[in-house]
């Protein structure tokens, strides 16, 4: 078939069933065009066909015969839109970026032709980019970039990207795991259980096959991996997989934890249960399918007594009792889980989409009985993680085992349906809360029971986190896991906190309302955290808050809500950064990864500014487990671990250089370590590499919503996000991440929900049309404010902010809806049906 | 180049499925596709002497929106087309494909399930997850019809020109929704060639509204099209249709009748919208759609009974 590709004629043989996306990626090697959903919803695969955009994952190859195709590579890297994306940091992980860039470039060209350099409105930009999804939520930067490009602000001049790897992501050159093709590589696919609960017997297959079963050979949810096979192409591998016969002895399905059948009947099987929390698991008893309570109480009996007494005799106190629920939320990173495994003798090489190169290398060494130095993990670019890519997952096991069996490299990349079923979720939680304010309005006590709907997982710990918020008033805190035959919950950006705050921060709001007190003023009284005090003070002066008005009783009603968040400060005290002088530049190397959060840029900025260099004189190489030990991108520990280590390394290099210039010091190498915090850590020694530092980060979010009371839609219009995480190393990137945290919080509050078939637990929201993540049009105007004081005991004076920035967003929306409508939502997401029912239309 | 007859024969011989833009067919495991794109003469808009338009079946949604004469002549069709999917889908998806696409039921599209649609004898949605299901019960299947264009075309009383049979009205194209196995009534080998629009109504007021959770790019929970003409304050003609609530797109003459001869007050519109809910028999978790149907009708009727905004530059 002949067509024109990026201005050049090509002639290529294609299969009838092939898509244009597949031809571009697999036959032409143009991997800038990504495939993230495969159903035309997300826009990552967008190309131009005769100058008009199309989703190439839905285009039959034959449809472009004799036509002109332009991919992101064909834009040349110098299109004003590409320059603008770099300057405005309109990206994070970069996986959706080529699609956005192609669409935005087409829009800009059309806009200029019709309107010259007038700036398009936000609505016009949203209309044009409605077919693109960014899971990191870089929409605020995208609005800025597209408007500026249309206005002619980026037609010429040198581009100075804020994010050091921006240009490679914007041009499609950045290589992700799904883009890796090695000589002789096979494609692996995973055979999954069609049954919610079954014992697996014989697996009949006349070729090589890797089993992926737990030791007891029991599958416990629909979609659980059973085995994997490989073939030269994905289509062939799927065909092979379809021929495999698996004997299942079906067991009774547990879809409520009250069922008689026990999902984990033995001590041994419980040990294999996946975990939804990070760090050590709080001890708890098992009772059938319920694990709990995991208690975290402080004067729990006193708390219960006070609340019982208040129930019987109010005595001028304010008691708020309510049950709140949250839905199961999927991570659904734009780059799916994927691994390319290759054995070289006894050395194992992995290209991996991971947020933890060192941790996964350690786990892999243990699992395949190798010495640590025999495992080499590479994650050059990672298309999002959000907590779902911190372990050896089934894609890794499948690729490694198949590669060993076949003796060639094997690539396993999950499809979007697999990703949405088995790629990870935040457990749903039901929280029963009683919150008591004494007659003077002080926090008297609370009780909080969290019931995690975590499928086959344990450790849903939501209530747990309420121990550390609002001082030391008595509190009884209990967490329970309710085990069912449904896909597992795993850690997700601030595990446990968004659901806990959904409950707590609405109850606090309710106390303020009943007392007739300003909700910010009440929080300021209850909350002893000095850093959040600064945020409360600032928030209370915002015009959006100060001038909030009666929403009235018209169709559209505006309301403003506030919510706060509190999070522990984690770091990896073992972090090292090596610096080497190479050809007049300084190259920083560390075994960490950049999943879109900006770790490359933080290291580059610290090294550059400490040594007084130009940006071109520093290069950062990360994403390799072979480098100096670095942290996982988890628990917001990256920045407070890597930045002080990079600074230490830079100081050592300065000393080692003495009076020499870089050109005179070729090959000079130093290794910097993460200096200890003043007064040390809460944890006497690191647990699984993590230490808990002293102090808590904080956030205060003020959100304005417009509620359409006719059609039941909630539209966040403005968000102020105040974050107290100390010094901000690269402000534009930090802002981007906080804006993304707001977007994910909006998704959690309003749209995102895993739906299942109630009879089997089969996930029905197995595509990005039914699983609804926010689009660019759902983006409010976001104002991010950083309070940077209060971390003098931390070298570099800054801690992580990737999680604190998202936790309170949903609760602020709940409080805003309450203000707008008089009805308080208790269940997430606030779908139109729930809103209409709630406000009583 | 090929001919309609050759394509029709290929479909009959292979048991294949017609493919136009492919934006629906490519997302499903289907019978072998038979491509229509190489048939000449099916794309584009032709104006006939009486001022009416013939819209070729392979005309894309974007083509509709790019044609100023068409959007002026048929404002309800234009407003509907503008709300469909996303720009890169509208660039490829065709009018014919939109009208004849498969529904989006999440049980139908999940290979783990069989149902009435795929030769089974159950509807897992009825007993199971039916949050987005139809609330006007027309038969064993409760998947709402996905075509937004059909809702608009119903209000225009447009006609489908079909290769292999005589022309039929849009309502006839879908029948009564009683057959769960198909989303339209064309037989294998019958091919939609064009949509014939009636001559435009000079000063109609028209609107399209959809209820969704997100701002854009989402299949509607409920959608509605209204076309009114007014003489002063008095409604003189009305055509109303809805989608998202039944196995077929639905024309609602009872709502239109309740408006005729009345002035477009809030009470009149609400009373007319109320009539639509009489047809509904929702399931436990889809009951909200009854209220939403009424609300969407009020929204769309309000939008097209208000005086048109002054022309802007």
Percentage of chain A lying above the pLDDT 70 cut? 100
**Residue (of A158, A146, A139, A67) closest to A102 by Cα position:** A146
Cβ count near A298 (within 10 Å): 17
Residue B312 has pLDDT above 60, yes or no: no
Residues 268-287 of chain B whose Cβ lies under 8 A from any Cβ of chain A: 285
Q: Do A833 and B131 touch (CB under 8 A)?
A: yes
For residue B255, the model assigns a pLDDT of 98
Establish if B310 belongs to a structural domain: no
Q: What letter does residue B32 receive in the DSSP assignment?
A: P
Question: What are the DSSP calls for A292-343, one per residue?
Answer: EEEE--BSHHHHHHHHHHHHH--TT-EEEEEEEE---EE---SSPPEEEEEE
Res. A38 pLDDT band, cuts 50 70 90: very high
Q: Where is A555: in which H helix or E strand?
A: none
Res. B313 pLDDT band, cuts 50 70 90: very low
Residue range B22-54, pLDDT digits in tens: 999 999 977 899 999 989 999 999 999 999 999
Token code pair at residue B267: 């009470």
Residues 128-147 of chain A whose Cβ lies under 8 A from any Cβ of chain B: 128, 130-132
Give the pLDDT mean for A373-392.
Answer: 98
In sequence order, what are the residues at sequence separation of 6 or more whose Cβ sits closer than 8 angstroms to the Cβ of residue A599? A592, A593, A622, A633, A638, A639, A642
Q: In chain A, which residues have their Cβ closer than 8 Å to the Cβ of B129?
A: 755-758, 764
Question: B157 and B224, same structural domain?
Answer: no
Rg (CA), chain B: 19
Q: In chain A, which residues have their Cβ closer than 8 Å to the Cβ of B242?
A: none
Phi, psi for residue A569 in degrees, rounded to 5: -105, 115
Q: Do B23 and A58 touch (CB under 8 A)?
A: yes
Residue B308 has pLDDT above 80, yes or no: no
Percentage of chain B lying above the pLDDT 70 cut? 97
DSSP bridge pairs for A414: none
Give the pLDDT mean for B91-101.
Answer: 98
DSSP bridge pairs for A105: none
Gap between the Cα atoms of A311 and A361, Å rounded: 54
Interface test with A, best of B214, B284, B286 (most A CBs within 10 A): B214
Q: Where is A669: in which H helix or E strand?
A: strand A669-673
For residue B139, the model assigns a pLDDT of 87
Question: B262 and B175, same structural domain?
Answer: no
Q: Do B22 and A712 touch (CB under 8 A)?
A: no
Question: B247 and B177, same structural domain?
Answer: no
According to CATH, the topology of domain A186-251+337-413 is Aldehyde Oxidoreductase; domain 4 (3.30.365)
**The last residue of a domain, from among B165, B196, B227:** B196
A1-174 classified as CATH 2.102.10.10? no
Question: B219 and B90, same structural domain?
Answer: no
Res. B85 pLDDT band, cuts 50 70 90: very high
Establish if B311 belongs to a structural domain: no
Residues 16-45 of chain A whose Cβ lies under 8 A from any Cβ of chain B: 19, 38-41, 43
Cβ count near A277 (within 10 Å): 25
Q: In what order do the strands lie in the sheet with A410-413?
A: A210-211, A225-231, A186-192, A410-413, A338-344, A347-352, A375-378
For residue B307, the model assigns a pLDDT of 67
**The last residue of a domain, from among B163, B196, B229:** B196
Contacts by A74-77 with C-beta closer than 8 Å and gap 24+? A74/A5, A74/A6, A74/A7, A74/A48, A75/A101, A75/A102, A75/A105, A75/A171, A77/A167, A77/A170, A77/A171
Q: Do B288 and A43 touch (CB under 8 A)?
A: no
**Residue (of A603, A586, A613) closest to A641 by Cα position:** A603
CATH 3.30.365.10 domain locations along chain A: 186-251+337-413, 529-570+690-839, 574-673
Q: What do you get for the CA distance between the two ends of chain A, in Å?
A: 58
Gap between the Cα atoms of A203 and A191, Å rounded: 11
Q: In chain B, which residues have their Cβ closer than 8 Å to the Cβ of A55?
A: 23, 88-89, 92
A415 and A422 Cβ atoms separated by less than 8 Å: no
Cα dihedral A768, A770, A776, A782 sign: negative
Gap between the Cα atoms of A70 and A73, Å rounded: 8
Q: Which domain holds residue B31?
A: 4-196
ipTM: 0.97
**The last residue of a domain, from among B196, B213, B235:** B196
Question: B56 and B17, same structural domain?
Answer: yes
B35 and B19 Cβ atoms separated by less than 8 Å: yes
A444 and A436 Cβ atoms separated by less than 8 Å: yes
Gap between the Cα atoms of A505 and A509, Å rounded: 6
Q: Do A766 and B22 touch (CB under 8 A)?
A: no
CA atoms within 13 A on the CB side of A67: 19
Phi, psi for residue A772 in degrees, rounded to 5: -100, 110
Secondary structure of residue B131 in the 3-state scheme? coil
Res. B309 pLDDT band, cuts 50 70 90: low
Our CA-based measurement puts residue A833 at a distance from the nearest CA of chain B, in whole angstroms, of 5
Residue A314 has pLDDT above 80, yes or no: no
Rg (CA), chain A: 27
Residue range A413-458, pLDDT digits in tens: 999 999 999 999 999 999 999 999 999 999 999 999 999 999 999 9
Question: B110 and B84, same structural domain?
Answer: yes
B207 touches chain A (CB under 8 A): no
Our CA-based measurement puts residue B52 at a distance from the nearest CA of chain A, in whole angstroms, of 28
CATH node for A529-570+690-839: 3.30.365.10
Question: B156 and B116, same structural domain?
Answer: yes
Q: Do A39 and B27 touch (CB under 8 A)?
A: yes
* In B31-147, alpha helices (H): 61-66, 68-73, 75-83, 87-90, 95-100, 124-127
Secondary structure of residue B159 in the 3-state scheme? strand
Residues 120-179 of chain B whose Cβ lies under 8 A from any Cβ of chain A: 124, 127-129, 131
Nearest CA in chain B to A38: B27
Number of domains in chain B: 2
Establish if B313 belongs to a structural domain: no
Our CA-based measurement puts residue A21 at a distance from the nearest CA of chain B, in whole angstroms, of 12
CATH number, position B211:
3.30.390.50
A551 and A821 Cβ atoms separated by less than 8 Å: yes
**Residue (of A244, A240, A213) closest to A226 by Cα position:** A213
A777 touches chain B (CB under 8 A): yes
Our CA-based measurement puts residue A217 at a distance from the nearest CA of chain B, in whole angstroms, of 22
Q: Do B106 and A710 touch (CB under 8 A)?
A: no
Give the pLDDT mean for B175-179.
Answer: 96
CATH number, position B165:
3.30.465.10
Nearest CA in chain A to B108: A764
Question: B230 and B185, same structural domain?
Answer: no
Tokens 């709300």 appear where?
A: B83
Token code pair at residue B258: 């309740």
Measure Cα distances from B217 to A105, A128, A318, A460 in Å.
20, 11, 44, 33
Query: Residue B44, Cα to own-chain centre: how many angstroms?
Result: 19
Mean of per-residue pLDDT scores for chain B: 95
What is the β-pairing status of strands A198-204 and A218-219? antiparallel
Q: What do you get for the CA distance between the two ends of chain B, in Å?
A: 44
Question: B190 and B258, same structural domain?
Answer: no
Residues 89-108 of chain A whose Cβ lies under 8 A from any Cβ of chain B: 103
Nearest CA in chain B to A837: B288
A66 touches chain B (CB under 8 A): no
Gap between the Cα atoms of A355 and A787, Å rounded: 27
Residue range A192-206, pLDDT digits in tens: 999 999 999 999 999
Q: Do B88 and A127 touch (CB under 8 A)?
A: no
Give the pLDDT mean for A565-573.
Answer: 97
Establish if B257 belongs to a structural domain: yes
Res. B1 pLDDT band, cuts 50 70 90: low
Question: B218 and B190, same structural domain?
Answer: no
Span of A711-720, B200-209, B217-226 with lowest mean pLDDT: B200-209
What is the β-pairing status of strands A347-352 and A375-378? parallel
Cβ count near A105 (within 10 Å): 25
Gap between the Cα atoms of A42 and B89, Å rounded: 11
For residue B310, the model assigns a pLDDT of 58
Q: Do B288 and A55 touch (CB under 8 A)?
A: no
Gap between the Cα atoms of B279 and A117, Å rounded: 52
A229 and A189 Cβ atoms separated by less than 8 Å: yes
Burial label, A617 (beta-carbon count in 10 A; 0-12, 13-18, 19+): middle
Gap between the Cα atoms of A836 and B221, Å rounded: 13
CATH 3.10.20.30 domain locations along chain A: 1-174
Q: What architecture (CATH level 2) is domain A574-673?
A: 2-Layer Sandwich (3.30)
A772 touches chain B (CB under 8 A): yes
For residue A577, the model assigns a pLDDT of 98
Nearest CA in chain A to B285: A833
Establish if B226 belongs to a structural domain: yes
B112 touches chain A (CB under 8 A): yes
A277 touches chain B (CB under 8 A): no
Residue A158 has pLDDT above 80, yes or no: yes
Tokens 């989006």 appear where?
A: B104
A701 and A519 Cβ atoms separated by less than 8 Å: no
Question: B123 and B9, same structural domain?
Answer: yes
Establish if B38 belongs to a structural domain: yes
Cβ count near A157 (within 10 Å): 9
Q: Where is B54: in which H helix or E strand?
A: strand B53-56
Q: Where is A418: in which H helix or E strand?
A: helix A416-422
Q: Do A762 and B216 touch (CB under 8 A)?
A: no
Question: B69 and B209, same structural domain?
Answer: no
């Amino acid at each position: 078939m002949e067509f024109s590709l990026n201005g050049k004629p090509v002639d290529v043989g294609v299969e009838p069933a092939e898509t244009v996306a597949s031809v571009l990626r697999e036959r032409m090697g143009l991997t800038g065009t990504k495939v993230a959903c495969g159903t035309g919803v997300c826009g990552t695969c967008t190309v131009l066909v005769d100058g008009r955009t199309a989703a190439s994952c839905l285009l039959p190859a034959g449809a472009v015969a004799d036509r002109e195709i332009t991919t992101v590579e064909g834009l040349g890297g110098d299109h004003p839109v590409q320059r603008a994306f770099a300057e405005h940091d309109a990206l994070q992980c970069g996986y959706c970026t080529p699609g956005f860039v192609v669409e935005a470039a087409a829009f800009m060209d059309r806009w200029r032709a019709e309107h010259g350099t007038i700036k398009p409105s936000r609505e016009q930009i949203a209309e044009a980019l409605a077919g693109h999804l960014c899971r990191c939520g870089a929409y605020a930067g995208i609005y800025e970039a597209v408007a500026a490009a249309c206005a002619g602000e980026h037609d010429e001049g040198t581009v100075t990207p804020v994010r050091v790897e921006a240009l490679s992501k914007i041009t499609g050159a950045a290589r992700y795991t799904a883009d890796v093709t090695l000589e002789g590589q096979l494609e692996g696919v995973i055979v999954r259980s069609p049954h919610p609960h079954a014992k697996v017997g014989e697996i009949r297959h006349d070729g090589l096959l890797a089993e992926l079963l737990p030791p007891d050979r029991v599958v416990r949810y629909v979609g659980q991996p059973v085995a994997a096979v490989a073939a030269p192409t994905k289509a062939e591998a799927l065909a092979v997989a379809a021929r495999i016969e698996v004997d299942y002895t079906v067991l009774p399905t547990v879809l409520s934890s009250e069922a008689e059948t026990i999902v984990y009947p033995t001590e041994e099987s419980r040990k294999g249960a996946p975990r939804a929390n990070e760090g050590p698991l709080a001890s708890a008893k098992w009772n059938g399918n319920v694990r709990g309570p995991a208690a975290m109480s402080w004067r729990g009996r006193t708390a219960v007594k006070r609340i019982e007494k208040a129930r019987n005799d109010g005595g001028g106190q304010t008691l708020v009792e309510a049950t709140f629920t949250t839905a199961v939320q999927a991570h659904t990173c734009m780059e799916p889980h994927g691994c390319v495994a290759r054995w070289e003798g006894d050395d194992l090489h992995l290209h991996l989409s991971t947020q933890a190169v060192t941790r996964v290398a350690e786990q892999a060494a243990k699992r395949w009985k190798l010495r640590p130095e025999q495992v080499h993990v590479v994650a050059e670019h990672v298309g999002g993680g959000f907590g779902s890519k911190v372990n050896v997952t089934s894609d890794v096991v499948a690729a490694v085992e198949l590669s060993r069996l076949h003796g060639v490299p094997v690539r396993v990349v999950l499809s979007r349906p697999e990703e949405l079923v088995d790629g990870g979720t935040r457990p749903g939680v039901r929280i029963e809360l009683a919150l008591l304010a004494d007659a003077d309005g002080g926090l008297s006590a609370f009780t909080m029971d969290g019931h995690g709907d975590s499928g086959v997982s344990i450790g849903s710990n939501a209530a747990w986190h309420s121990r550390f918020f609002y001082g030391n008033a008595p509190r009884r805190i209990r967490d329970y896991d309710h085990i069912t035959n449904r896909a597992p919950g795993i850690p997700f950006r601030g595990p446990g906190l968004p659901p806990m705050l959904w409950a707590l921060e609405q109850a606090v709001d309710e106390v303020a309302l009943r007392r007739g007190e300003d909700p910010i003023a009440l929080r300021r009284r209850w909350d002893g955290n000095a850093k959040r005090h600064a945020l409360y003070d600032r928030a209370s002066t915002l015009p959006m808050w100060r001038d909030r008005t009666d929403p009235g009783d018209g169709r559209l009603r505006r309301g403003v809500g506030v919510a706060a968040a509190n999070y522990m400060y984690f770091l990896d005290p073992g972090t090292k950064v090596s610096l080497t002088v190479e050809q007049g530049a300084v190259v920083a190397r560390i075994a960490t990864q950049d999943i879109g959060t900006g770790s490359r840029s933080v290291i580059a900025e610290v090294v550059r500014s400490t040594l007084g260099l130009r940006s071109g004189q520093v290069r950062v190489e990360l994403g390799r487990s072979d480098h100096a030990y670095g942290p996982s991108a988890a628990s917001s520990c990256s920045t407070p671990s890597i930045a002080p280590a990079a600074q230490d390394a830079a100081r050592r290099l300065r000393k080692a250089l003495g009076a020499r210039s870089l050109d005179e010091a070729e090959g000079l190498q130093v290794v910097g370590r993460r200096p200890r915090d003043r007064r040390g850590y809460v944890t006497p020694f690191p647990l699984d590499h993590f230490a808990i530092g002293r102090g808590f980060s904080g956030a205060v979010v003020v959100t304005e919503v417009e509620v359409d009371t006719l059609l039941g839609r909630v539209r966040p219009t403005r968000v102020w996000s105040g974050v107290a995480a100390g010094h901000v190393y690269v402000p534009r990137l930090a802002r981007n991440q906080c804006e993304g945290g707001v977007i994910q919080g909006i998704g959690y509050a309003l749209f995102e929900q895993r739906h299942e078939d109630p009879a089997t637990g089969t996930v029905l929201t197995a595509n990005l049309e039914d699983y609804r993540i926010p689009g660019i049009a759902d983006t409010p105007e976001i104002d991010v404010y950083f309070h940077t004081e209060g971390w003098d005991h931390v070298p570099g004076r800054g801690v992580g902010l990737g999680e604190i920035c998202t936790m309170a967003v949903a609760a602020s929306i709940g409080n805003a809806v309450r203000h707008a409508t008089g009805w308080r939502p208790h269940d997430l997401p606030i779908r139109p049906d729930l809103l209409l029912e709630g406000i009583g239309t | 180049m090929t001919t309609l007859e050759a394509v029709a024969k290929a479909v009959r011989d292979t048991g294949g499925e017609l493919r136009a833009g492919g934006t629906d067919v490519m997302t499903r495991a289907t019978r072998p596709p038979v491509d229509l794109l190489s048939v000449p003469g099916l794309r584009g808009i032709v104006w006939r002497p009486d001022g009416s338009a013939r819209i070729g079946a392979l005309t894309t949604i974007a083509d509709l929106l790019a044609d100023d004469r068409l959007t002026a002549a048929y404002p309800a069709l234009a407003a509907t087309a503008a709300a469909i999917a996303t720009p890169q889908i509208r660039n490829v998806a065709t009018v014919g494909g939109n009208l004849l696409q498969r529904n989006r039921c999440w049980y139908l599209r999940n290979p783990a399930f069989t149902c009435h649609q795929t030769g089974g004898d159950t509807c897992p949605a009825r007993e199971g997850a039916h949050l987005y299901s139809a609330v006007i019960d027309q038969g064993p299947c409760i998947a709402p019809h996905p075509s937004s264009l059909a809702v608009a075309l119903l209000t225009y009383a447009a006609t489908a020109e079909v290769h292999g049979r005589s022309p039929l009205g849009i309502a006839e194209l879908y029948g009564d929704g009683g057959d769960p196995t198909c989303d339209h009534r064309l037989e294998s080998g019958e091919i939609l060639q064009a949509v014939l629009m009636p001559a435009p109504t000079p000063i109609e007021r028209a609107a399209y509204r959809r209820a969704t959770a997100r701002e854009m790019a989402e299949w509607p929970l409920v959608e509605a099209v209204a076309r009114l003409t007014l003489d002063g304050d008095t409604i003189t003609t009305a055509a109303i249709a809805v989608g998202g609530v039944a196995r077929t797109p639905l024309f609602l003459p009872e709502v239109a009748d309740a408006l005729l001869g009345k002035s477009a007050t809030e009470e009149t519109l609400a009373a007319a919208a109320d009539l639509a809910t009489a047809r509904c028999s929702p399931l436990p978790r889809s009951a909200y759609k009854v209220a939403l149907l009424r609300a969407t009708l009020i929204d769309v009727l309000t939008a097209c009974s208000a005086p048109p905004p002054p022309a802007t530059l």
